[in-house]
Amino acid sequence: MSHLPHRLEVQNASIGYGQKTILKDLSFQIPHGARVAVVGPNGAGKSTLFKALVGLLPLQSGQILIHGEALGAHKDCVAYIPQREEVDWKFPVTVEDVAMMGRYSQKSWLSRPSKQDKQIVKNSLEQMGIAHLANQPIGRLSGGQQQRVFLARAIAQEPHILLMDEPFTGVDATTQETTLNLLDQLREKETTMMISTHDLNLAASRFDYALLLNHKLIAFGKPKEVFVKENLSQAFGNALLVVDNGVILVDECCPPDEEHQRHPIEEK
């Protein structure tokens, strides 16, 4: 796929909220069809990056290019799945309504769904194993089911680029495996994917590239090249532990409502 253009380029981008800069001077290129793990400690700017990549947060400086064109030129090709806690689950919509939102990027909000739209949404719900929940209010579903609904919405959008913010946090093993299977299917369609995760083992074993952040780009490349002691020390600081057998542990400080996690990975 090296002859194909980069689907996503970030050039000297600084991103933040108002005058506060969260990410400074980022530059990287995501190859066509690559699967990228975005890794860093809590508060490092992973969610901020995703919001900028989908146009929800303006750049302070620099630029983002999709297929070589400025962000916004391709309104229908980037799908974004936020963290679950950022979603208002009390909003009165059904599972089918949420999945249908994936089709609105290709048409006016006032347009009625076409027969093709309805079939695509039905297929996406079936693919996620939640077609039987189509008429259920989104707020009544379990966390894993809600995650599958947003995956169905992303499938219905038929994106070239998929951004997923912490999709493996707080979901059951079945939903995690369903998500990974979906990523494998999207790889066959050469969909470019960026997924943030705290699981370094998963990032090292199931992703083509790793992007390591902590308010700046620390490293980007193949996981075995990125996840070395020096880079991880820059990212995680005192949370990085090296034990006698050469295994690196990231002992990340999490908010009180999150499970305290340790993520082992072999030192390269």
Q: What integer is the mean pLDDT of 227-231? A: 91
- Confidence label for 90 from pLDDT (cuts 50, 70 and 90): confident
Q: Which is more confidently placed, 89 or 151?
A: 151
Percentage above 70 pLDDT, the chain: 83
Do 221 and 37 meet the contact criterion of CB atoms below 8 Å apart?
A: no
Per DSSP (E only), the strands in 85-223 are 161-165, 192-196, 209-213, 217-221
Under the phi-then-psi rule, with left for phi > 0, alpha for psi from -120 to 50, and beta for the rest, what region is 218? alpha
According to the model, what pLDDT value does residue 105 have? Answer: 66
Average pLDDT of 40-62? 94
Mean pLDDT over the full length of the chain = 84
pLDDT exceeds cutoff 70 at 190: yes
Residue whose C-alpha is closest to residue 187's, from 169, 162, 164, 210: 162
Q: How sure is the predictor about 255, in pLDDT bands with cuts at 50, 70 and 90? A: very low
For residue 2, what pLDDT is reported?
42
pLDDT at 265: 42
Between 158 and 60, the higher pLDDT residue: 60
Question: How far is Cα 167 from Cα 162, in angstroms, rounded to an integer?
Answer: 12
Q: Is the pTM of the predicted complex or chain greater than 0.85?
A: no
238-265 average pLDDT score? 49
pLDDT at 252 exceeding the cut of 90 = no
Are the C-beta atoms of 83 and 38 separated by less than 8 Å?
no
Say yes or no to pLDDT of 245 above 70: no
Average pLDDT over residues 163-181: 86
Token pair, residue 36, equals: 């990228």
More reliable by pLDDT, 88 or 153: 153
Indicate if the pLDDT at residue 221 is higher than 70: yes
Q: Residue 14: pLDDT above 90?
A: yes
Residue 17: which of 67, 51, 63 has the closest Cα? Answer: 51
* Spatial contact of 34 and 71, defined as CB atoms under 8 Å apart: no
Q: State residue 249's pLDDT score.
A: 54
pLDDT value of position 197: 92
Query: Taking the domains of the chain in order of start, what are their residue ranges?
Result: 75-81+89-159
Model pLDDT for residues 108-151, shown as the tens digit of each residue: 556 788 899 999 999 999 999 999 999 999 999 988 888 889 99
Q: How many angstroms separate the CA atoms of 240 and 243, rounded?
A: 10
